[in-house]
């Protein structure tokens, strides 16, 4: 992305899809897409002439004609099941994708989230990330701990953005530190200023992204989006309705944030945990 002029008109030409989980155990939530559904969608898009864009491609100015049947494919959170169920399908089709990682949880379970499955889910390890990065897949920031940035103090926003970026650049190189997907798609003017100050060049919000370079729209693909062409790539009335439904579902995630905050407030301070561990030893 270095040296490329970022043109808002060009950036908003190609649609952006956002998946979370592909395959793995069933959940009570809506973010899981079955492996067979994902494989069918990607296969159908490939046969119809669609192609995926890298972040570099996405940032380059495109004419409307050149942008037809192209899209940016993204994954949020970086679950380990992607390496088993999603990335191999994409590699076989010649597709690529960008995964936005919660850097403090790489190689760990998703304790940052509420439990929607019987057992906690694992995130990609750095070894898996580096292996797929070497095969042409891309990775960027989803914050350090997946906290809703708009609810944080300035110092905490800065910490979330810069710590994540620093880790990504150290592990994967400078390109990995140039884009961010805001947790829960939540961003406002204050967050965009922090993102710009941290040196991010692209920022992705929710369905109602403003179209600014640091607040671009993405359409989530949820469990009910099972047609061969996801609603985020449709330009008809069904696509419009589907994006509205996806926006409403994303807004409902505010409940997760409320529960996260409540859990942090009731958790014992780190020194109490350390003291307890020492006493048990």
pLDDT at 279 (0 to 100): 32
The pLDDT of residue 4: 39
Q: What is the pLDDT of residue 2?
A: 44
Q: How confident is the model at residue 9, as a pLDDT?
A: 43
Count the helices and strands in the chain (H runs, E runs).
12, 10
Strand partners, 33: 22
Percent of the chain at pLDDT above 90? 74
Instruction: Answer yes or no: are the C-beta atoms of 215 and 203 closer than 8 Å.
Output: yes
Average confidence (pLDDT) over 34-44: 98
Query: What is the rounded distance in angstroms from the CA atom of residue 75 to the CA atom of residue 77?
Result: 7
Q: Which residues, listed in sequence order, are joined to residue 52 by a DSSP beta bridge?
A: 71
Average pLDDT over residues 6-16: 61
Cα distance between residue 182 and residue 161, in whole Å: 9
pLDDT band at 68 (very low <50, low <70, confident <90, very high): confident
Which pLDDT value is given to residue 114? 87
Evaluate whether 32 touches 24 at the Cβ level (below 8 Å). Answer: yes
What is the reported pLDDT for 74?
A: 98
Give pLDDT tens digits for 239-273: 999 999 888 888 776 556 565 666 666 655 544 33
Confidence tier at 280 by pLDDT (50, 70, 90): very low
Long-range CB pairs of 164-167 (<8 Å, 24+ gap) are 164/101, 164/102, 164/103, 164/104, 165/141, 165/198, 165/199, 165/200, 167/103
pLDDT above 60 (res 19): yes
CA distances for 279 relative to 266, 271, 274, 276, angstroms: 21, 12, 9, 5
The pTM score is 0.87
> Has residue 24 got a pLDDT over 70?
yes
For the segment 117-154, what is each residue's pLDDT rounded down to a tens digit? 999 999 999 999 999 999 999 999 999 999 999 999 99
Chain centre to alpha carbon of residue 123: 13
Confidence of residue 274 (pLDDT cuts 50, 70, 90): very low
Mean pLDDT of the chain: 88
Q: How many CB atoms lie within 10 A of CB 246?
A: 24
- CB burial readout 248-269, b (16+ within 10 A) else e: ebbeebeebbeebeeeeeeeee
For residue range 215-231, what is the model confidence (pLDDT) as tens digits?
999 999 999 999 999 99
pLDDT at 172: 98
Q: What is the pLDDT of residues 52-62, one digit of tens each?
A: 999 999 988 77
């Amino acid at each position: 992305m270095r040296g490329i002029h970022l043109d808002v008109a060009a950036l908003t030409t190609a649609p952006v899809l956002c998946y979370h989980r592909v395959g793995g155990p069933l959940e009570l939530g809506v973010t899981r897409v079955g492996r067979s559904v994902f494989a069918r969608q990607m296969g159908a898009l490939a046969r119809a002439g669609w192609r995926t864009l890298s972040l570099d491609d996405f940032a380059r100015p495109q004419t409307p004609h050149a942008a037809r049947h192209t899209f940016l494919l993204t994954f949020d959170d970086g679950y380990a099941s992607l390496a088993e169920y999603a990335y191999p399908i994409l590699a076989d089709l010649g597709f690529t994708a960008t995964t936005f990682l919660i850097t403090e949880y790489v190689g760990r379970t998703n304790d940052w989230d509420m439990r929607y499955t019987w057992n906690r889910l694992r995130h990609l390890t750095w070894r898996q990330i580096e292996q797929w990065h070497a095969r042409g897949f891309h990775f960027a920031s989803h914050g350090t701990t997946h906290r809703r940035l708009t609810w944080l103090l300035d110092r905490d926003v800065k910490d979330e953005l810069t710590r994540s970026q620093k880790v990504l650049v150290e592990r994967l190189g400078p390109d990995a530190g140039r884009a961010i997907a805001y947790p829960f798609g939540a961003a406002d003017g204050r967050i965009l200023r922090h993102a710009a100050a941290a040196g991010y060049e692209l920022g992705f919000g929710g369905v109602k992204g403003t179209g600014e370079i640091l607040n671009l729209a993405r359409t989530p693909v949820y469990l009910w989006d099972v047609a061969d062409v996801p609603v985020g790539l449709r330009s008809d009335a069904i696509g419009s309705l589907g994006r509205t439904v996806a926006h409403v579902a994303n807004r409902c995630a505010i409940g997760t944030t409320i529960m996260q905050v409540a859990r942090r407030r009731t958790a014992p301070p780190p020194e109490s945990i350390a003291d307890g561990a020492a006493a048990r030893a």
